[in-house]
Structure 1
Amino acid sequence: MARRNRARLPAEERRRQIIEAATALVAERGFWGLSMQDVADDCGLTVPGLLHHVGSKDGLLVAVLEHRDAEDQRALGDPPPEGLRELCAALVRRNATQPEIVRLFAVLAAESLAPDHPAHAYFTARQQAVLDALTTLAEGVSPRPETLARQIVATMDGLQLQWLRDPAGTDLVAMWTAAEKVLFG
């Protein structure tokens, strides 16, 4: 077997390269369509070399999801925008700049509805955490804060799917601006 020509990268940089390659592939094919060989090839690694950095295919998926969450937190700022309406608008503006990441999330969220999917527990916990945070922000804004939180998530998810299906014909930010008038009055 021929040895691959590849540049030696610091571990953190190599891990970032692996996560970026896996993110693109999962967004395109879903988790079940993800091949560790394809990720390794994209990074100039062997599969054992890839596994050295991520442990397993499931470990790679967790790394991708954690990276996505950390990047969103970083992009929203510390502290994030105050107020429910402002936070939602900032999230939509951010998502409008990253269709590949939104597609990744949509594909994995749908796939992980199956209880045996490796991200099932992650998405279940994430959904509850998002609803809890939005419900807290909705207190004082709505007489039914939990209902408003669920409506916000459903609206964002639905608009993002429409946008992903027809990016040229759907302005995500404009659609959210119209929807927030209905949601927040």
Structure 2
Amino acid sequence: MTVIQPLRRSRPRLPAAERRRQIIDVTTRLIAERGFWGLSMQDVADGCGLTVPGLLHHVGSKDGLLLAVLDHRDEEDRRALEISLGGIPAAAVASPREICSALVRRNARQPEIVRLFAVLEAESLAPDHPAHDYFEERQRRTIETLAELLKGRAADPEGLALRIVALMDGLQIQWLRNPAEVDLVGAWEDAAAVLFAGAR
């Protein structure tokens, strides 16, 4: 008589930093596909070869996992933007338009990340969403930073900053819906020529 052994989950031991990166990558992909409310901790654990308790050991909770993903993406974007601007911190660059164009070019190379943020930003309009405060603060900080960079360059820096953010977000949604027909970078540059026309 043949005895069938139960399947054992393969859990190769990874250094903590490498495991955390793996968890963030798997979670990023799943949230982009399903949204936060459709995210299952079991699916994340399965994607990483972990048990759910093993996953929770690294991230603490589902909300903690979401915030870890968002913080990681912000840091990656900040670092990539600085590299694309020749190693100069974004705040030190003379042209706000150059900063925005660099961001759009980066986003055009990472549709999955843009989709992740678009899905989460829409979901987080609900006050009980765990990323509600994160996105509210992120939006406020983005507009304030842009407005500061536009001071002395535009008659209404706050209004222009708001329009820039609205344009970038709107173009990204159109591009995600129809990437074959919408050239995100080209559409941004065409619109930016009009948007920044009055700015020095």
TM above 0.5, yes or no, is yes
Structure 2 Cα separation of the partners of residues 47 and 3 of structure 1: 14
Aligned to 1:26: 31
Aligned residue type for 2:196? F
Higher Rg of the two aligned structures: 2
Of 100, 114, 131, the match for 2:143: 131
Shift of 1:79: 1.2
RMSD of Structure 2 on Structure 1 (CA): 1.0
Give CA deviations for 1:129-170 in whole Å, capped at 9, x if unaligned.
001000001112210000000000000000000000001111
Structure 1 Cα separation of the partners of residues 147 and 8 of structure 2: 54
Of 151, 162, 176, the match for 2:174: 162
Aligned to 2:124: 112
Of 6, 20, 23, the match for 1:15: 20
Pairing 1:1-185 to 2, within 5 Å after superposition: 2-77=7-82, 78-80=88-90, 81-185=93-197
Give the secondary structure class of the aligned counterpart of 1:6. coil
Structure 2 Cα separation of the partners of residues 153 and 107 of structure 1: 16
Aligned residue type for 1:79? P
Structure 1 Cα separation of the partners of residues 70 and 164 of structure 2: 22
- Paired residues in the alignment total 185
Structure 2 Cα separation of the partners of residues 88 and 74 of structure 1: 15
Give CA deviations for 1:12-47 in whole Å, capped at 9, x if unaligned.
000000000000000010000000000000000000
Query: Any runs of at least 4 consecutive aligned residues in structure 1 with deviations exceeding 2 A, and if so which?
Result: none
> Where does structure 2 lack aligned partners over 5 or more consecutive residues?
1-5, 83-87
Structure 1 Cα separation of the partners of residues 152 and 195 of structure 2: 14
Structure 2 Cα separation of the partners of residues 122 and 76 of structure 1: 21
Structure 2 Cα separation of the partners of residues 27 and 166 of structure 1: 16
Structure 2 Cα separation of the partners of residues 5 and 145 of structure 1: 55
Shift of 1:83: 1.8
Give the TM-score taking structure 1 as reference length.
Answer: 0.98
